Copies of this chain bind each other. A is one copy, B any other.
Amino acid sequence: MEKDGSKDSMDAFARECRDRGLKVTYQRMEIFRVAVSTDEHPDAVTVHKRVKKRIPTISLDTVYRNLKLLAAHGLLAVVGTSGEHLRFDANRGPHHHFTCVRCGMIRDFTSEVLAALPLPREAQDLGVPLSQHLEVKGICVACEKKEQRKKEAPRHKRDA
């Protein structure tokens, strides 16, 4: 699926919706078209504004609902940790983040390999870089352990 909102990609999207039991509504299609036609990572209000040009009566909450729904189905993603509360970081040195997708915990790590990494040219083409850090998403050891336990001992209903 290219990021252009072409007929092909919209057809593919419609198919993916039906596959998941999601109805293919005009609103949903237009919301997706707008989202997929830009790489500015718009927020819900921006998407709403743009969709309104085609569907003047569409409501903001329909946009929210659809973006969230599509995100839940993996048809699009929420950028970074956006939308969560403000989180603060008193570690002022260069470091990277490991974010647990289960519990939301963010842990720092440092890496000499990464520190030595030159900034890719593709990024330099976009502007003057000031800092860079790697965002790793995954499942932290604590959550991993929890899930292991569930698998290993499903006969106990300790995790009702």
Contact = CB atoms under 8 A, between A and B. Distances in A.
Interface stretch (A18-26, A80-88, A149-157): A80-88
Nearest to A108: B39
Contact residues of A: prevailing secondary structure: mixed
Nearest to A36: B90
Given A106-B41, A127-B138, A87 B82 contact: yes
Contacts of A127: 98, 100, 138-141, 143-144
A98 B86 contact: no
A113 interface: yes
A160 interface: no
B123 A45 contact: no
A96 interface: yes
A77 B92 contact: yes
Chain A, interface residues (CB within 8 Å), range: 35 or more
A39 B76 contact: no
Given A80-B80, A109-B120, A126-B140, A43 B132 contact: no
B126 A141 contact: yes
Interface in A64-84: 67, 71, 74-84
17 contacts: A1-B92, A36-B90, A41-B88, A43-B84, A77-B90, A79-B89, A80-B81, A80-B97, A82-B86, A101-B130, A109-B120, A109-B126, A123-B134, A126-B136, A127-B141, A132-B135, A135-B135
